Chains A and B, each alone.
Chain A
């Protein structure tokens, strides 16, 4: 059995709040950076966001076009699968409803892809209905590269690995194709309120 380390508490953390899903603690003022690879250096001049895959025509936005889309302020709680949560985070960006509004598709799933090769999958339905954004602003500042800047996905109702950093687009698919962590056994949906960490949870 494990030994309790006398006097060790670890980082100060709150674990009891009805805003915290099971097994999560409140990271408070800190914003942990989790990274599985090098931070991509992104040139805004060549950055674009595309919606491709099962679509009649690939939709593409340059950085300037993306910045000109209608913007929304979002204040939300986020939940990382490694058990930290952060409450009342403030973002600004473009709703996926806006981005997907012009897209005709029969697809039911999405593979989100990013600079650096990261991917994650989720049902297309979860990107609509005011539940997902492409954000480029955090706490009124341009999103820092370590947190996914210039732009990342924000899908706060799912574990935060679904909110892909350095996002570059969506590939619409008819089947659910596991992404970077999902191929490692992480849950294909990832609902923090149902503790869907691993496949089978």
Chain B
């Protein structure tokens, strides 16, 4: 028998099945024109590892339910759990979370979940993060943690966004001492000096920690983005066991 290093009561306790629990909405803020930051108070939250998810469940008065999983945007050192939800045009859950939810509402959540696509300062580096769109969310948590922990692990973020106003986590991205490359894919200001267009092998070669530095690479974004980037990374010589991926969908049925 070993003694668990994290021993807490509440929904996120180590061991045991994970149950749905009500969280209270502390704040709802516009993050970008399409994304909203939700700050939640989750009673009994035992803390999370950057990269983990929180599942959210909505129930209609007739019992109809919809569930979605969101990466936690906040770092483990922050006092509350934060999600950043992008509104999908045909979505069912995201329009509710971004447009209807109010401060003081209760939301059923389950988490933290996911033990694969995670990074903690003790896991070392160098760390290479590659995000497409709202795929940057788990990396905001990792960067916050890296700084709060005083980690000297070298880190880089390559972040592909449509245009400057679509950048999620702009404060964190501007403040981090990690090397940041922002790629604008749809619209760039006339004065823009950074890269534009699709994230391809050439761009990855120029802006990503090279394979001989043995980086731990995390790629998160829409399925097509993640698979194209992961393929190009393997071509550039990154070993598959050091490239972790997480895809998110743009649709999703209710379950």
Contacts and interface: CB of A to CB of B under 8 A. Distances in A.
Interface of A: 2-11, 13, 15, 25, 32, 34, 82
22 contacts: A2-B57, A2-B59, A2-B65, A3-B107, A4-B59, A5-B96, A5-B105, A5-B107, A6-B102, A7-B96, A7-B100, A8-B59, A9-B60, A9-B64, A10-B58, A10-B60, A10-B65, A10-B66, A10-B92, A10-B254, A11-B254, A13-B64
A3 B22 contact: yes
B88 to A, nearest CB: 13
Contact of B253 (A2, A3, A4, A82): A82
B108 interface: yes
Interface of B: 20, 22, 57-62, 64-66, 92, 96, 100, 102, 105-108, 253-254
B59 A3 contact: yes
A8 B58 contact: yes
Nearest to B99: A7
B59 A34 contact: no
A201 B136 CA distance: 45
Nearest to A11: B92
A4 B22 contact: no
Given A34-B253, A82-B253, A4 B60 contact: yes
Contact of B59 (A5, A13, A25, A32): A5
A32 B65 CA distance: 16
B60 A6 contact: no
A6 B105 CA distance: 7
User: Which of the listed residues A9, A10, A13 has the most CB atoms from chain B within 10 Å of its own CB?
Assistant: A10
Contact of B58 (A5, A13, A34): A5
Contacts of B96: 5, 7-8
Nearest to B20: A2
User: 3 closest A-B pairs (Cβ-Cβ)?
Assistant: A5-B58, A8-B58, A10-B64
A29 B254 CA distance: 17
Contacts of B253: 32, 34, 82
B144 to A, nearest CB: 29
Nearest to B96: A8
A4 B61 contact: yes
A25 B254 CA distance: 13
Contacts of A11: 92, 254
Contacts of A34: 253
Nearest to B90: A30
Contacts of A25: 64
Contacts of A5: 58-60, 96, 105, 107-108
Contacts of B102: 6
Nearest to B61: A4
Contacts of B60: 4-5, 8-10
Given A5-B108, A7-B100, A10-B60, 8 more contacts: A2-B59, A3-B106, A4-B60, A5-B96, A10-B64, A13-B64, A34-B253, A82-B253
A13 B60 CA distance: 12
A11 B91 CA distance: 9
